[in-house]
Amino acid sequence: MNDQQLLRYSRHLLLEEIDVAGQEKLLQSHALVIGAGGLGSAAAPYLAAAGVGHITLIDHDQVELTNLQRQIMHAENNIGKSKVASGKEFLHRLNSSIQIDTIEARATTQLLDELLPGVDIVLDCTDNFSTRHLINASCVKHLTPLVSGSALRFDGQISVFDPRTSASPCYACIFSPEESFEEVSCASMGIFSPLVGIIGAMQAAQALQVLIGFGEPLVDRMLLWNGRSTQIDEIRISRNPDCPVCGKTR
């Protein structure tokens, strides 16, 4: 690190769990953030501020007025602009020294097959089951750690799936892709504005832990956040040996 970076990240360097070696890992890391909406608007800025050296944003959507209640990467003057372009502007204002790539498209298996070999961690900040299952399957295939978050109404959840670890479940171990789930969205159900900030910030924290390699990330655990009671519950989750996604790969 140069002198400017030593000063910029000095509060990280004071933490023995991070120190110079950990910060250098972040500067050399590549994080893929899929979804530049509510969760991504909290997760991506903390990754950028913390010094993750390369961030790629994927989103196919444009900024709308209804997004501004919670998607804090976007502002009124960005309405009609692609979310990834708006997000890149915001992240560069936070940290102009990092590389930010954008892809204005839906996440597909083909796209992820192209990207994941060069990615160190994936943050799933999307809002539907089908895309989450697609991302999970790609991460299992490429042995890429996945930080998965979701938020709706007053309830949020977050977990880490690390296919590099034989005991780690994957997303499909919990929510089988062979079952049908009713798709619900904040457009029809509503969402508490700070909830996406809470879960998205937690996703960033988990990603930093995994990238640096300290503490106990939420592998084989899921946190459930209740915004009505301000209560956090934790449940243990186990790998399903018959999982159609990871059961035959490990």
CA distance 10 to 158: 29
Tell me the sheet residues that pair with 236.
221
What confidence tens digit (pLDDT) does each residue in 212-242 have? 999 999 999 999 999 999 999 999 999 999 9
pLDDT for res 179: 75
% of residues, the chain, pLDDT over 90: 90
pLDDT for res 94: 97
Closest Cα to residue 112, out of 87, 143, 89, 81?
143
pLDDT for res 249: 61
Tell me the sheet residues that pair with 226.
155, 231
Contact 190, 153 (CB under 8 A): yes
pLDDT for res 237: 94
pLDDT for res 247: 86
First-to-last CA distance in the chain?
38
- For the chain, the domains span 3-236
Contact 204, 46 (CB under 8 A): yes
| 19-27 helix and 193-212 helix, angle to the nearest 10 degrees | 110
Residue 20: helix, strand or coil by DSSP?
helix
**177 CB neighbour count, 10 Å cutoff:** 18
pLDDT for res 177: 84
Instruction: Report residue 234 as tokens.
Output: 């934790």
pLDDT for res 180: 67
What confidence tens digit (pLDDT) does each residue in 64-74 have? 999 999 999 99
What confidence tens digit (pLDDT) does each residue in 181-210 have? 666 666 667 899 999 999 999 999 999 999
Contact 220, 167 (CB under 8 A): yes
Does 3-236 carry CATH code 3.40.50.720? Answer: yes
CA distance 88 to 58: 11
pLDDT for res 184: 62
Residues lower than pLDDT 70 in the chain: 180-188, 248-250
What is the reported pTM?
Answer: 0.95
Q: 220: alpha, beta or left, given left = phi > 0 and alpha = psi -120 to 50?
A: left
Closest Cα to residue 245, out of 147, 98, 153, 141?
141
Q: Give the H or E element holding residue 137.
A: helix 129-142
Which residues have a Cβ under 8 Å from the Cβ of 92 and sit 6 or more positions away?
A: 100
CA distance 223 to 217: 11
pLDDT for res 84: 98
CA distance 238 to 240: 6
Q: What is the DSSP string of 180-239?
A: ------HHHH-B-HHHHHHHHHHHHHHHHHHHHT-S--SBTEEEEEETTTTEEEEEE---
